Amino acid sequence: MDPLQLSENRRVLIVDDNRAIHDDYRKILCDAPVDTELADMEALFLGTPADSQSEAPRLNLHLDSAWQGEEALAMVTQAVEENQPYALAFVDMRMPPGWDGLETIERLWQVDPDLHVVICSAYSDQSWSGICQRLHKGEQFLILKKPFETAEVLQCAVSQVRKWNLIRQAQHLMAERASYTDRLEQRVHEQSIAIRVAYEETIHQLVRASMFRDKETGAHIRRVGLYSELLARAAGWSDEAAEQMRLAAPMHDIGKLAIPDSILQKPGSLTTAEYRLMQQHTTLGAQMLSGSTSPLLQLGCEIAVSHHERWDGTGYPNKLTATDIPESGRIVGIVDVYDALSHDRVYRKAMSRAETLSELLDARGTHHDPDLLDLFITLLPEMEAIVRDNPDEPSDVAAADDPDGLLSASAAELKRWQASQTELTELTELTTPPA
């Protein structure tokens, strides 16, 4: 039986100014077999069965010698630099004319804080408490009185070398576990981003399906989301909530999917009956988005049903007033009107900047929340930057002869997103590494 594993670090440094002591250590730790009684003791200590029929075990430690503390420091430094550290050092307490044992140990630990030490002394001028106060690391050293017994040296060597190796193994396992967790979290993060992108594309496709029939553009969808996010942040929404606003706001007119083309695409004014039917897109949109456990779709539902309410209670569908109107609906109500006024519509050309601002301000306190509108005006340079970065393009306008193709694509995207959500849940459950 070998008390130490073959793969373990067996490097031991002897630091003593007496050559005869070095010879004694070598005979005990390298040359002589461990007697049966000691082998039994080590087996009990290490929790491994002893084999009385096998050849007497040998420690086969690799011993190096240093005669003074300065020489020991140089050897330990080199060992650390070469990534072949010592597991244990036997250090004599008195080594004139150089450093004493305690100073030597302090300097060795500055280079290799993990080194285990056996302090060897024939004197009793240093108490255990005094040494502990000086060295602090009571768990990393033992004291061996000279003259020492063979069994004492063997026990110190085996226990400390084994302890060093166990600690190193534990550190390695912890590092592997941390690396595994980091890799898994990175995978989940990347998958979350991919799913979020797919989710946004799904929403974009679904909303484009409604905007397609209203002759709106994909750029309008993006702008409304970006305007809403910017205004929500300025109004004090958290980063997460504002991000949800960016994704949910474009769904405000999703109910137009259920409005006839003859109304949506009519170039002239609507009749009273047609206008009432058009107003139903708010409740129809809310019905489409209702019943979901997704916070995003719940927010979209809230926006769909409330973005045409007016501050003075003259809006639709529920004639809510002031702060009874959800703030999300009040925000989208402002930015949707702003984008509609400042861009071409099927029934009119875009207004100038001055005309757009005049229209908005004329509706302050009647149509729009006065405080939110004031805040919007302060953000106008940022809003105009969003317009510049997201201009209407011919490719953004959906082709009038293929609504079903777009809707089918949206349905397929939604199915892929639902499958991705399931995959993300499974990945998240893996974030707890195996024991």
How far CA 331 is from CA of 9, 227, 300, 382, in Å, comes to 67, 9, 13, 16
pLDDT in tens, the chain (435 residues): 445 554 689 999 999 999 999 999 999 988 655 444 545 555 555 555 555 444 445 567 899 999 999 999 999 999 999 999 999 999 999 999 999 999 999 999 999 999 999 999 877 667 777 787 788 877 888 888 888 889 999 999 999 999 999 999 999 999 999 999 999 999 998 988 887 777 777 776 677 666 665 556 678 888 999 999 999 999 999 999 999 999 999 999 999 888 888 888 887 888 999 999 999 999 999 999 999 888 888 999 999 999 999 999 999 999 999 999 999 999 999 999 999 999 987 667 889 999 999 999 999 999 999 999 999 999 999 999 999 999 987 654 443 344 444 444 444 444 444 454 455 455 445 444 444
The residues that bridge with 62 in the sheet, in sequence order, are: 11
How much is the pLDDT for 43?
Answer: 58
H-only helix segments in 327-402: 327-341, 353-362, 370-378, 380-389
Strand partners, 345: 348
Contact call for residues 211 and 396 (beta carbons, < 8 A): no
Given this model, what pLDDT does residue 56 score? 45
Preceding peptide of 147 cis, ω within 30°: yes
Tokens standing for residue 213: 């029939």
Q: What is the DSSP letter of 293?
A: -
Q: What is the dihedral of CA 355, 358, 362, 367, to 10 degrees?
A: 70
H/E stretch holding 91: strand 88-92
Please give the CATH superfamily to which domain 11-174 belongs. Answer: Response regulator (3.40.50.2300)
Contacts of 412 (CB under 8 A, 6+ apart): none
Fold of 216-396: Hypothetical protein af1432 (1.10.3210)
**Domain chopping of the chain, boundaries:** 11-174, 216-396
- This prediction's pTM: 0.53
The secondary structure of 1-66, three-state, reads CCCCCCCCCCEEEEECCCHHHHHHHHHHHHHCCCCHHHHHHHHHHHCCCCCCCCCCCCCCCEEEEE
Q: For residue 129, what pLDDT is reported? A: 76
Residue 358 to residues 307, 364, 377: CA-CA distances in angstroms?
20, 10, 11
For the chain, helix (H) and strand (E) counts, in that order, are: 17, 5
